[in-house]
Structure 1
Amino acid sequence: MAHGDISGSNIAFTCIKLSTASKKDLFNVLGTPEYKELVRLDGKPLNKALPKHLVNIATWYGWMGENYEDIRIIDFGE
């Protein structure tokens, strides 16, 4: 199988250790989420279907500490 557009945006994985991690433990690994409020350039209110915030991606150095990884390629064609 070949895929012409592999990136961090279309790869998903599982991590058993996260299923038992506390919020504090998770933030110690990933850092506190960085986010900004989403606003329209014209100042009008956001559509209710849109998110209120944009959250920056997290960087997890050392996530490969698991004994078993389940990595999947996902692609919704966007």
Structure 2
Amino acid sequence: MLDKPLTPAGERILTVASELFYSRGIRAVGVDLIAEEAGTTKKTLYDRFGSKDGLVQHYLTRRYRLWRD
């Protein structure tokens, strides 16, 4: 799942989540806020990532890959 390209909505969600996680902390940010800020629904977030944990996994993997490269 981590190597599959994300849909435009998935990219938007991950971008917004990345900004919020970095600025506020992972535990302080809920899926309601992420969905609202990304202009999507919680259903779309769950369809793309399965759970907040799945979204966090994508976020951490992307940060690691950017740091590594």
TM-score normalised by structure 2 residue count: 0.26
Larger strand proportion of the pair: 1
Higher helix share: 2
Structure number with larger C-alpha Rg: 1
Length-normalised TM-score, structure 1:
0.24
